[in-house]
Amino acid sequence: MTIKGLLTGASLSLLMFGAVNAAASVDPERERVLSTDLARQLIQPAYQRFSGDSETLAANLNAYCSGGDASTLDGVRDAYRRTLHDWMFLQPINWGPAAEQNRHPALYYWPDKKDIGSRQLRALIADADPATLEPAYFADASIAVSGLSALERLLFDDTPPAPGSYRCDLAAAIAGNSHRIAAELAALWPAFADQWRLALDPRGGIKLMIKSMDEIAQIISQQKIGMPLGSDIDHARDRRAESWRSARSLDNIRANLDFIATLLHGNDGQPGLLSLIAEQDGDLALILETQLQTTREMLASIEQPLESAIAEPSARNRLIMLQANTDTLQTLLAGDVSAALGISLGFNSRDGD
C-alpha cells in the first residue's frame, strides 16, 4: 500500500492565508441548514443503531446469565463488540444530550489511570448487594462501573462470568444501564438537533461538529496511540490501550475516523461538510480529503491489534506514522477548516493535557 506524504508546514501556512480571506463569503444560514441536516440524517441514525445494538447486548447477556454456555458467551461478546463500535463512532460527541447527567463518561470511562473501575467492581462483587443490580442504583453510581468500560472488564477477564453468579448478574445490570443511556440519547437527539434551526448563532452546529473532529483527532494521537506507544519500544505498555481486554483499541480508532469521514463526506442523499468547505476553498477541501484518506489507509495497513503492534518494530513504525497523519489532520481541522468557515473553536477540552 502506498502512503502519501505528510503536508508540510509551509503548505499549511499557505492554506491558512487563503482560508482567512475566504471566510468572509461564508453564508451563515447555509451553515445552519447543513448542520441541522447532518444532525438528523447522519448522527441520528447512529444513535438509533447504538440503542438497538445495546438492547441486543443486554438481552443476550440476560439470557447467558440465566443458563447459557460457552457459545452463548461468544454471542454476548460479539454483541459487545458491535455496541462498542457504535459508541466509538459517537464518542466525539461530548455535547448536547451526551453532556447531560454524565451520560458520556458513564458509557465509557477512560483513561482510568488508577484502575478505579477494577477496584470498584471488585468491591461490588464482594458485597454482592442485590440492590446494586436494580436500575435505580445506577442513578448515583460511579461512572467507572456504569457502562461499557466496566462491562469489558467483566466479559473479557481471564475468568468469564459464570451463569447464575452475582458477577454475571452485575454484568447484565451494567449492560441494561448502558442500553438505558443509549435509548435516552436516541430519544433526546432529534429535539436537540432541531434547536439549531432557531438558534441565535447560525454557525453553532457546524462549530460543534468541527470541534468534535478536532478533539477526537487529538485524543487518538495523544491518548489512544501515544499512551500505549510510549517514548520508545522499551516503554510500550499494552495495558494503557483503550480497550486492551477485548483487543478493540485499533477498531475504536477506526470508528472515530469513520465519524470524521461521515461528517465530511455525507452519504448519497446528504452532502457533508466537504461540500461547504469546497465552496470556500476547493484546494483546502481536496487536501483535507486526501489527508483523511491517507490517515485511514495507514490505519488499514496495521494488520494486528494495537496491543501487540506497539511492540513489533514494523507495526510500531506504522502506528507512529498513523499518529503523525492524525496530527496533520487535526491541524487542518483546527486551523485551516475553521478559518475557512469563519469559525473560532475557542477553548479545547484537550488544552493542557
For residue 104, what pLDDT band results from cuts at 50, 70 and 90? very high
Cβ atoms of 345 and 211 within 8 Å: the answer is: yes
Rg value, the chain, Cα? 21
The predicted model scores a pTM of: 0.92
CA 174 – CA 48 distance, rounded (Å) = 19
Q: Provide mean pLDDT across the span 40-59.
A: 98
Could you read off the pLDDT of 252-300 as tens digits, one per residue?
A: 999 999 999 999 999 888 999 999 999 999 999 999 999 999 999 999 9
Q: Report residue 169's pLDDT band, with 50, 70 and 90 as the boundaries.
A: very high
In the predicted structure, residue 352 carries a pLDDT above the cut 80: no
Q: Is the pLDDT of residue 27 over 70?
A: yes
Mean pLDDT of 72-95: 98
Residue 71 has pLDDT above 90, yes or no: no
Which of these ranges, 58-72, 132-146, 206-220, 338-352, has the smallest mean pLDDT?
Answer: 338-352
Burial class (CB in 10 A: 0-12, 13-18, 19+), 237: middle
Residue 2 binned pLDDT confidence (cut-offs 50, 70, 90): very low
Q: What are the Cα distances from residue 172, in Å, to 71, 138, 159? A: 17, 13, 16
Look at residue 216 and tell me whether its pLDDT is greater than 70.
yes
Residue 16 has pLDDT above 70, yes or no: no
Q: What average pLDDT score do residues 306-334 get?
A: 98
Q: How far from each other are the two terminal CA atoms of the chain, in whole angstroms?
A: 34
User: What integer pLDDT is reported at residue 179 of this predicted model?
Assistant: 99
Q: Which of 1-10, 57-66, 112-121 has the lowest mean pLDDT?
A: 1-10
Lowest mean pLDDT among 11-15, 166-170, 222-226, 249-253: 11-15
Other CB atoms within 10 Å distance of the CB of residue 149 = 25
Q: Which pLDDT band holds residue 14 (cuts at 50, 70, 90)? A: very low
Alpha-carbon gap, residue 234 to 239, rounded angstroms: 14
CA-to-CA distance for 195 and 76, rounded, in angstroms? 37
Report the mean per-residue pLDDT for the chain: 92
pLDDT score for 349 = 55
Q: How confident is the model at residue 348 (pLDDT cuts 50, 70, 90)?
A: low
* Mean pLDDT, residues 33-60: 97
Which value, to the nearest 10 degrees, does the dihedral of the CA atoms of residues 106, 110, 113, 119 take?
A: 40
Distance (Å, whole) CA 80 – CA 64? 13
234, pLDDT greater than 80: yes
* pLDDT value of residue 347: 60
pLDDT at 11: 46
| Statement: residue 17 has pLDDT above 60 | no
Distances in whole angstroms, Cα of residue 304 to Cα of each of 1, 300, 309: 16, 10, 6
pLDDT at 22 over 60: no
Percent of the chain with pLDDT over 70: 91
What is the rounded average pLDDT of the residues 167-182?
A: 99
Q: Is the pLDDT of residue 4 over 70?
A: no
- In this model, does residue 9 exceed pLDDT 50? no
